[in-house]
Structure 1
Amino acid sequence: MDMQPPSHITDRLLGRSSRSDSSLTTSSMIRTGIWSVCYFAFYLAQQIAELLAPLLLILGVGWYILPHIVNAITTSAATADPQARDIMNHVAGTLPNHLQIGSHLITPGSLIFDGILLMAIAAIGATVSALAARNM
């Protein structure tokens, strides 16, 4: 009895490829290319979000707390020198509670919300880029 391997195994061993093998590699290359683009896009979004989220959170919290600190200092300085009190009142009056840049209204709360939103985007980007890396 003569035992020979099936023809598709001997073709692979000898370097011959069939038509289905070439279409399989083409679809595999296209799939890898698509997952690579997805991985790049979501990893880039993750990196940008991780960079900007702490900055926006710190700016928002600082901007929210600063007027309260200045007001506390101003009220505690009521017995202090009248010139010092006038300067503190002037500083407290110059702190804006919002900024209008073009059609965008920026407030301390909006900066804090945007920082938290960017943290969520970073988490989503990390999840999707890990899935893309696993599927490549």
Structure 2
Amino acid sequence: MDMQPPPHITDRLLGSRSRSESSLTTSSMIRMGVWSVCYFAFYLAQQIAELMAPLLLILGLGWYILPHIVNAITTSAASADPQARDVMNHVAGTLPTHLQIGSHLITPGSLIFDGILLMAVAAIGATLSALAARNM
């Protein structure tokens, strides 16, 4: 003997299943949308950091090394022509040690530090975007 529920109970069970399936679909779509936005934000931050970090490091190192190179050339050219020595001293004196842009003070050390900090941001962005992709 086959024990089946009456038709009105079967219809209610099927109706509740379809509602729960639609709510599951909606919640999973919302969840996927949130994780997609997170993935986008983390991946964008990673790309910008990967682009800017080497530029800041190279600018900072170049700015730090350039005055030392110019001073080395000036001291080695001390026995050279006095006019050439004056030109080199003038060039060495015009190299800034810092830049003030608005309320920001930019130095070679700050550019190097910012480059290293951006490399850390790129690593964190890669990690978080991988986690977001896994949760999608």
User: Is the structural similarity TM-score above 0.5?
Assistant: yes
In structure 2, the CA distance between the partners of 1:48 and 1:2, relative to structure 1 (3 Å rule), is same
Shift of 1:90: 0.1
| Pair 1:42-2:46 in alignment | no
Question: How many angstroms apart in 2 are the aligned matches of 1:69 and 1:9?
Answer: 89
Number of residue pairs the alignment of both structures matches: 136
Shift of 1:16: 10
Contact 1:11 1:17 in 2 (8 A): no
SS in 1 for 2:33: helix
Identical aligned residues as a percent: 90
Q: CA RMSD in A?
A: 3.6
Residue segments in structure 1 that go unaligned for 5+ positions in a row: none
Shift of 1:19: 1.4
Q: Specify the alignment match of 2:93 in structure 1.
A: 93
Q: Specify the alignment match of 1:124 in structure 2.
A: 124
Question: How many angstroms apart in 2 are the aligned matches of 1:47 and 1:130?
Answer: 14
Higher mean C-alpha deviation, range 9-18 or range 35-44: 9-18
| Pair 1:80-2:75 in alignment | no
Contact 1:98 1:106 in 2 (8 A): yes
Shift of 1:13: 15
Q: TM-score, normalised by structure 2?
A: 0.88
SS in 2 for 1:105: strand
Question: How many angstroms apart in 2 are the aligned matches of 1:110 and 1:19?
Answer: 58
Question: How many angstroms apart in 2 are the aligned matches of 1:128 and 1:39?
Answer: 8
Higher mean C-alpha deviation, range 58-67 or range 17-26: 17-26
Higher mean C-alpha deviation, range 82-91 or range 10-19: 10-19
Question: How many angstroms apart in 2 are the aligned matches of 1:115 and 1:12?
Answer: 63
Which aligned segments of 4 or more residues in structure 1 are displaced greater than 3 angstroms?
Answer: 1-17
Superimposed CA distance per residue, residues 78-136 of structure 1 (whole angstroms, 9 cap, x where no aligned partner): 00000000000000000000000000000000000000000000000000000000110
Q: Specify the alignment match of 1:66 in structure 2.
A: 66
Shift of 1:44: 0.3
SS in 2 for 1:100: strand
